[in-house]
Amino acid sequence: MRYFIELRYLGAAYCGWQRQPDQPSVQQTLEGALTTLLREQIEVTGAGRTDTGVNASYYVAHFDVSEAVADPIRTVYKLNFLLPGDISVWTLTPVSDEAHARFQAREREYRYYIEPRKNPFTRHLTWQYYVPLDLERMNRAAASLLEYEDFTSFAKLNSNNKTNICHVMRAGWEERPDGRLCFTIRADRFLRNMVRAIVGTLVDVGRGRYTPEDFRAIVESRDLSRSSAGAPAQGLFLSDVRYPAGIFIRQSDLR
């Protein structure tokens, strides 16, 4: 029987979502807790990879188990007891055996947070960047992302991507009431390090190194060497994963 899990995690202690030899990962940690709790070997498939140090305020994964879970709410409670404090499971939902957390996800959303002042309480969850930024210029540049499909300029080398084609549906910055800057980007798929490279380049637009037209030229160049250094991992959050209604309907209100 197959179940979807909704969870969230802080990425600082992990090499990312995906299991890696001799390095702690979110996938491996979750699998260990499920195997202990359900008393059979459990393998978990996630909605996608997150890199070292990247967080997820919302994440979806699936696993198969030989018998139905008798009490999903109680199981979530026990699972959270076994998991470390930086991983939290919210729901456990039975789905069709054909439902797939990765291949049937239609949209994914990331958010990146910049703290424009020194703040000891947000330093592990934001990029603390003190140079004044022009959000209007950054949003003009970000809007152009919706006009392109090839994001080779922001694709990490040697990532074994079959294609660098992505379809961006939303990209833009806003200033939150607490003063933090938030960049939200939604697409059908993302390349490794793509969001951090985009954020780093947009920040260079905001501080005047590039114009919005320069940013457009960088995208069109399909040349990674022309984009800026990637923004630090701790400010990046996977914030949403969406599926067709017939596959899975979001159960939690995590944002």
Which residue, 55, 109, 97, is CA-closest to 242? Answer: 109
Contact between residue 219 and residue 179 where contact means Cβ atoms under 8 Å apart: no
Q: Which amino acid is at 148?
A: Y
Contact between residue 196 and residue 233 where contact means Cβ atoms under 8 Å apart: yes
Contact between residue 140 and residue 99 where contact means Cβ atoms under 8 Å apart: no
Q: What is the DSSP letter of 96?
A: -
Residue 240 to residue 108: CA distance in whole angstroms:
6
Q: What is the DSSP letter of 234?
A: G
Residue 220 to residue 156: CA distance in whole angstroms:
16
Which residue, 69, 134, 62, 130, is CA-closest to 101? Answer: 62
Q: 124 to each of 13, 59, 76, 81, 201, how far by Cα in Å?
A: 12, 20, 27, 24, 21
Instruction: Based on the residue annotation, tell me whether 51 is a catalytic residue of this protein.
Output: yes
Instruction: Considering the candidates 51, 97, 150, 204, report the single residue annotated as catalytic.
Output: 51
Which residue, 251, 135, 145, 144, is CA-closest to 190? Answer: 145
Residue 5 burial (10 A CB sphere; 0-12, 13-18, 19+): buried
Which residue, 159, 224, 237, is CA-closest to 198? Answer: 224
What is the set of active-site residues? Answer: 51
